[in-house]
Amino acid sequence: MLTSSLSKASVILLNGLFCVTTAAAQDRSIDTAHSVLKIRVFKSGIFSAFAHDHELVAPLGDGTVHLADNPSVALSIHARELRVLDPDVSSEQRADIQATMEGPEVLDIKRFPEISFQSTAVKRKDDQHWVVRGNLMLHGQTSALDVDVEFKDNHYQGFAQLRQHDFGMTPVRIAGGTVKVKDELQIEFDIVLKS
Cα-Cα-Cα-Cα torsion 174, 180, 186, 190, nearest 10 degrees, comes to -30
pLDDT in tens, 57-67: 999 999 999 98
pLDDT in tens, 123-181: 999 989 999 999 999 999 999 999 999 999 999 999 999 999 999 888 776 644 444 67
pLDDT in tens, 94-121: 898 899 889 988 899 999 999 999 999 9
Which residues form the domain of 131? 29-191
Number of domains in the chain: 1
Is residue 44 scored above 90 in pLDDT? Answer: no
CB 73 within 8 A of CB 117: yes
Give domain status of residue 2, yes or no: no
CATH number, domain containing residue 131: 2.40.128.110
pTM score, whole prediction: 0.79
